[in-house]
Each structure stands twice: as C-alpha cells, then as structure tokens.
C-alpha cells in the first residue's frame, strides 16, 4: 500500500482516471498496441509487412501527414509511433487506440477485450462500448463523491466520511478491488448520516428516514425511492444487499452505489444544514 493510501489521502478525482492517463495505464495500453499490432511484424521494410496498410491509414487519416514521409524501415516506424504515443495528450491517446481498433485486418474483438481489461485494472473512467471509447464515469459523478467526502469532513461527520473513503479505496484499489465491500461501505455512509439526523444510533436506515422526514421535509415519493434503493439494511447484523451475493458484482455496480450514496449524503447534509439539524 502506498504512503498516500495508508494516511488516507483519497479523492475520486485522483482515484478514477477521467481527464488524465497515468504511467501505469499508458504503459498497459502501449503493451496491448505493441502485442497485437507491432510484435509480429518481422519484416525489415514496412512496405512488405502486414502492418503496412494500417500505417498508411494512420499517416493519411489520423496523423494527416504525407505518406511519403513514412520511414521505410519498420523499426523506425515503430520508434516514431512509440515517441508519439508516450508524448501525446491523454485524449489523443484514446483517439489513437480507437482509430486503430476500427481496422478489421486484425483481431479487433480480442484487442478491444484486452484494452478493456487494462482500462478496468487501472481504474480508467472509460471503456470500449460498441467499438467506441465511451465514458462510464462523468465529471459530475466524480464531483458528487468528492463533495460528499469534503462536506462530511466539514460537518464533523466522521463516520460518513470514513465509510465513503473506504468505499472509494475499495473501488479503486488497482491490485485487489473489493466491489462487494465497497457497496457495503457506501450504504453504511447513508445509514450513518441518517442515524445522526435522527439522533439515535439504534435505528435502521428505514426507521431513521421515518424519524427525520418531517424535520427535513423529505417528500414521500422521494422517501419511498430512497427506501427501495437503500432498504437492504437490517437491525440484526448490518448490511444485506442482494447485489453483494452476485458473482458478477463489478466496478459499475460498486461505482453506481458510491455515486448514488454520495448524492444522497450531499442531499441530507444540505437539508440538515438548512433545518438546523447539522451545524
């Protein structure tokens, strides 16, 4: 575990790669590109290689450079591509791998699956969806998580802050993400603030909402929706969530719960502050 992780400096903006690509992710993407496109090219001159058609496409339609400037030797083409790859902006890199993945001269399905494995492993906010790189996490979602963590800290809601930070760490841990317990921590954050607002530590989430709905003017339809989403708590031995029993519990499931619970926490903090339940 890194020093920053041990002392608890965790932010959604830093944990989920949305508008940047760190070295680990860039290296992984390059390794996929190299393995599928470059590694099997043994010809000395690029014009005689299976790679030639793709290189023409890259120079003509992606780089938009004169194709007579393509280096004749394959090793120089590889070198030029590598220099560009590791020097470009994060969005240009995504443009590039998406462009190359539309060339059906290669095993596109396997390439995309490999890219998605790397994007998931390195906690990127993007995945290949139907052949296009698409955001699975938005700036709004990132801000929702960070706002909930920061505001719960400002309001001295230590339990809420701890649960949200734990959820984010478990979600974004690169070597061993724990999606099920991330979900549990997200729900626990909502339960914690609800108990604070209802002034008791013994309530379930459902009963806590019953106690505070009049105080914060929680609309009945909204209350019902919250109970349906977060009504997986029990008075006996804590959180029970059907999703946690599924073998396919994944990043998207845990991220959805973290974003949703963060939004609910932000809502309750705002309502509690306006009504004087929180200082």
* Residue 53 pLDDT greater than 90, yes or no: yes
Compute φ and ψ for 111, nearest 5 degrees. -65, -50
Question: Domain coordinates of the chain in residue numbers?
Answer: 17-135, 139-274
Structure confidence at residue 136 (pLDDT): 86
Residue 130's CB is within 10 A of a number of other CB atoms, namely 6
Residue that wins the pLDDT comparison between 111 and 6:
111
**Stretch 226-234: mean pLDDT:** 59
Q: Give the mean pLDDT of the chain.
A: 85
Q: Which residues pair with 127 in a beta bridge?
A: 134
Which is nearest to 155 in space by CA: 209, 193, 188?
193
Phi-psi region of 42 (alpha: psi -120 to 50; beta: other; left: phi over 0): alpha
> pLDDT tens digits for 167-197?
998 888 877 888 888 988 998 898 899 889 8
pTM of the entire predicted model: 0.75
């Amino acid at each position: 575990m890194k020093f920053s992780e041990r002392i608890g400096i965790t932010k959604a903006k830093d944990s989920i790669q949305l508008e940047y690509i760190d070295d680990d992710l860039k290296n992984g993407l390059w390794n996929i590109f190299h393995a599928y496109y470059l590694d099997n090219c043994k010809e000395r001159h690029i014009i005689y290689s299976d790679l030639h058609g793709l290189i023409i496409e890259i120079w003509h339609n992606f780089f938009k450079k004169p194709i007579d400037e393509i280096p004749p030797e394959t090793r120089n083409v590889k070198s030029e591509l590598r220099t560009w790859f590791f020097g470009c902006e994060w969005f240009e890199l995504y443009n590039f791998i998406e462009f190359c993945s539309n060339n059906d001269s290669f095993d596109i399905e396997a390439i995309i699956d490999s890219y998605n494995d790397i994007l998931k492993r390195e906690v990127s906010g993007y995945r290949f969806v139907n052949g296009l790189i698409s955001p699975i996490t938005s700036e709004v979602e990132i801000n929702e998580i960070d706002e909930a963590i920061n505001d719960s800290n400002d309001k001295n809601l230590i339990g809420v802050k701890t649960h949200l930070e734990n959820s984010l760490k478990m979600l974004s841990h690169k070597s061993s993400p724990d999606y099920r317990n991330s979900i549990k921590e997200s729900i626990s954050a909502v339960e914690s603030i609800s108990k604070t607002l209802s002034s008791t530590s013994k309530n379930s989430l459902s009963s806590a909402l019953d106690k505070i709905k009049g105080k914060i003017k929680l609309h009945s339809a909204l209350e019902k929706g919250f109970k349906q989403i977060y009504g997986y708590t029990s008075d006996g031995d804590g959180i029970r969530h059907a999703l946690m029993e599924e073998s396919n519990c994944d990043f998207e499931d845990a991220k959805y719960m973290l974003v949703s619970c963060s939004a609910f926490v932000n809502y309750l903090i705002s309502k509690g502050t306006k009504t004087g339940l929180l200082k």
